[in-house]
Amino acid sequence: MKPVAPQCNILSVLPTESKRALCERCEVNGLSFCGAFGKAHSDRLQEITTQARLGAKQTLFMEGDPAEYIFTLAAGMMEISRHKPSGRRQIIGFLGAADFLGLAHAGCYAYTATAISDVALCRFRRRSFEALMNEFPELEHGLFKAVSNELVESQNQSLMLGQKKAEERVASFLLWQLRKSGGDHAESIDLPMTRGQIADYLGITIETASRTFTALKEREFIGLTGSHKVNICNRDGLEMLAEG
Amino acid sequence: MKPVAPQCNILSVLPTESKRALCERCEVNGLSFCGAFGKAHSDRLQEITTQARLGAKQTLFMEGDPAEYIFTLAAGMMEISRHKPSGRRQIIGFLGAADFLGLAHAGCYAYTATAISDVALCRFRRRSFEALMNEFPELEHGLFKAVSNELVESQNQSLMLGQKKAEERVASFLLWQLRKSGGDHAESIDLPMTRGQIADYLGITIETASRTFTALKEREFIGLTGSHKVNICNRDGLEMLAEG
DNA sequence: CGGCCGCTTGACCTACCTCAACTTATGTGG
DNA sequence: CCACATAAGTTGAGGTAGGTCAAGCGGCCG
C-alpha cells in the first residue's frame, strides 16, 4: 500500500449565503448530533458552520495532524484508517450520512479520513464548537452520544475480527451496509468502496473477499450487478451466516 | 464457554464514614476522571460516591442490564466482554486502576463486566452523576475524554485483530500490560488473567497462546515464573515483534 | 490422597494467505 | 469514438499459520 497522496484539505468552501438553505435541506438533520440541537438553536450553530465538499479519493485529514476542525458527514461515504509505524495500514471504519468525524487524541486526529465517493461535509472549528458546548450542554451530550455509539461500533468490529470466519465477516458487512443505507427494507446496496478496501476492513485478503462474494452469489444469497451493486436475495440466510 | 454465573451485583458496600478517607488514599486520584475533578469539588463528588468491593470471578453487571450505575475501578483488574446471539463471547478489554466502567447504549450496559482479581470500585448512580455533570461541565469533559480514550484503545484492538499474527499479538499484549502496570521502567508484570482469557481477547486459541508464550521464553524475550508472572528480558526485541 | 482446573505439548487438518495468470472495468489522449 | 494504459476484480494452485482434538502435567483444595 503506497503512502497516502498528500492532497489533504482540498475543500471547496461554499458561499456563505447558501449555508442556511443547505443545512435546512440537509438529509441528515435529526440524525446527527447537530440535527437535534440545530432545531432549537439553528442560528447559533450555523454561525460556526462551514459547508464543504471533497472529491473521491481525496484526504480530508491525516492521523496525527493537529485537530483543528470537527466534521459531520452530510452525504457520500468516507473511510477512516490508521497506520502502524511499520507502514501497514488498516481501515477501521466506513462513515456515511450523519456520522461524526474528527476524534482527537492529545490534540491530534486519531485517524486518517479519506473520501470514497464525492462527499459533503459540515465543518466546525473545534474551538468554536467547544465554546458553544460550554454554552449549551445538550450539544455536548449529543457529541458524547455520537462518540459512545462509535465506541460500540468499534467493539462490534473487534468481536468480528476476533472470531468470525471470512464468510461470516462478509455476510455481517453486507447486512451492516444494508441497515445503514436503506433502512431495513431495502433489497439492494451500493458499495462505493473497492474489494481491497472491504478486505482491509474485514481483516482478510482481496482474493478471499472476492472468492467469498462469488461463493455467496453462487449459493444465491446475493446477486451482483457489476462489483459495486449487491442485491440481497436471501436476507435471513445471510443473518444465519453472519452469526456463525 | 458456559454462561456467566448469575451472581451479579454482589457488592459489599463499605460504611459511609470511611468514604472520604478511602477516596483520599485512593491510588487513582489524579488519573481517573473523578480524580482531577475531585480535587476542586471533592465534597460534592463524595456525596454521590459509594465505595464497593467485589471478589474475583464475580460479575458486576451483564450486557443488557439497565445501566443504573457507572463506576471507576480503584484497584484490581476486570474484564469486559460481549456476547453474540449465537452464544459466543469475546473479551473486548481488560481494565485496571483508574479506568472508567459502565458505558451504556440505549439505557443498558453495552458489555458484561467481571472481576478477575479482587477489586475496589467507586460507584455513582448515573442520575446523580448526570445531575452533577450538568452543574459542572468539566466533569462531563472528563468523562468524555475517558470514553474517547476507550475508543482509541478499541480501535487499536481492531488494528491488532485485523492483521497481526499470533506472536505479534502476544508481544503487543505484554507490552501493553507493561505500560499499564509499571510505568515504562518495570521489568516484570503480573497477569492475573488466565491463558484462556488472554487468548480470547487476542482472538487466538488457548493452545496457540500457550505455545507462543513458550516460544517467547525459549527465545529469551521473556522469562516465566509460574504462568502469571512474566519478566521482560528483551523489551526492544518485543517491540520489534509487536510491530510486525 | 484424589479430583479438578489451568496449562502445556504433540499430531493432524483446514481455512486462509501467497503468488501468479487472466479478465473486466475505468479512464485518458489522439 | 476508439486504442491503449492502468487499476480493479476474478480464478487457480500450492503452502502455512493456526485451529482442532487428544493426551499428559502440575498446582490447589477439599
Q: Is A57's CB less than 7 Å from nucleic acid strand C?
A: no
Q: Give residues with Cβ within 8 angstroms of B104, minimum separation 6.
A: A148, B67, B110, B126
The CA distance from B15 to the nearest CA of chain A, in Å, is 34
pLDDT at B45 (0 to 100): 86
Calculate mean pLDDT across residues B67-88.
91
The percent of residues in chain B predicted with pLDDT above 70, rounded, is 85
Write down the pTM of the prediction: 0.90
The answer to whether residue A5 neighbours chain B at the CB level (below 8 Å) is: no
Q: What residues in B contact A152, CB-CB < 8 Å?
A: 103, 105, 110
C5 nearest neighbour residue (CA to C1'): B194
DSSP A16: G
Place of cell 523489551: B235
Query: Which stretches of B58-165 are assigned E, i.e. beta strand?
Result: 59-61, 69-75, 78-83, 89-95, 100-101, 104-105, 108-109, 112-115, 119-125
Task: Indicate the average pLDDT of chain B.
Answer: 87
Instruction: Point out the least confidently predicted range of A215-224, B2-11, B203-212.
Output: B2-11
Give strand letter and number of the nucleotide nearest A167 (CA to C1'): C15
How many A/B residue pairs have CB atoms within 8 Å?
A: 108
D27 nearest neighbour residue (CA to C1'): B226
Q: What residues in B contact A150, CB-CB < 8 Å?
A: 151
Cell matching residue B172: 503487543
For the beta sheet containing A229-232, the strands, ordered from the edge strand earlier in sequence to the opposite edge, are A188-190, A229-232, A222-224
CA of B232 to C1' of D6 (A): 49
Q: Residue A163 is nearest to which of B85, B88, B103, comparing CB atoms?
A: B88
pLDDT-derived band at B15 (thresholds 50, 70, 90) equals low
Is pLDDT of B217 > 80? yes
Q: What residues in B contact A111, CB-CB < 8 Å?
A: 155
Calculate mean pLDDT across residues B134-140.
87
Listed by number, the residues of chain A in 55-84 with a beta carbon closer than 8 Å to a beta carbon of chain B are 82, 84
CA of A29 to C1' of D4 (A): 47
SS3 state of residue A171? helix
Residues in chain A: 244
Q: Is B229's CB less than 7 Å from nucleic acid strand C?
A: no
pLDDT at B85 (0 to 100): 77
pLDDT at A41 (0 to 100): 78
CA atoms of B157 and A97, how far apart (whole Å): 26
Q: Give residues with Cβ within 8 angstroms of B225, minimum separation 6.
A: B231
How far out from the chain centre does Cα B70 lie? 14
Give strand letter and number of the nucleotide nearest A164 (CA to C1'): C15
pLDDT at B46 (0 to 100): 84
Low-confidence ranges of chain A (pLDDT < 50): 1-10
pLDDT at B13 (0 to 100): 53
The CA distance from B93 to the nearest CA of chain A, in Å, is 9
Give strand letter and number of the nucleotide nearest A194 (CA to C1'): D8
Q: What residues in B contact A144, CB-CB < 8 Å?
A: 140, 143-144, 147
Give strand letter and number of the nucleotide nearest A224 (CA to C1'): D9
Residues with CB under 7 A from strand D: A 194-196, 206-207, 209-211, 213-214, 224, 227-228; B 165-167, 203-205, 207-208
> Which is higher by pLDDT, B40 or B82?
B82
Is pLDDT of B207 > 50? yes
> What are the tens digits of pLDDT across the range A17-57?
556 665 666 666 667 777 767 667 778 888 898 988 999 99
Instruction: Point out the least confidently predicted range of A10-24, A187-201, B101-115, B131-145.
Output: A10-24
pLDDT at B7 (0 to 100): 39
The answer to whether residue A8 neighbours chain B at the CB level (below 8 Å) is: no
The CA distance from B116 to the nearest CA of chain A, in Å, is 20
The answer to whether residue B205 neighbours chain A at the CB level (below 8 Å) is: no
Is pLDDT of B51 > 50? yes
Protein footprint on strand C: which nucleotides are under 7 Å from a CB?
6-11, 15-20, 25-26
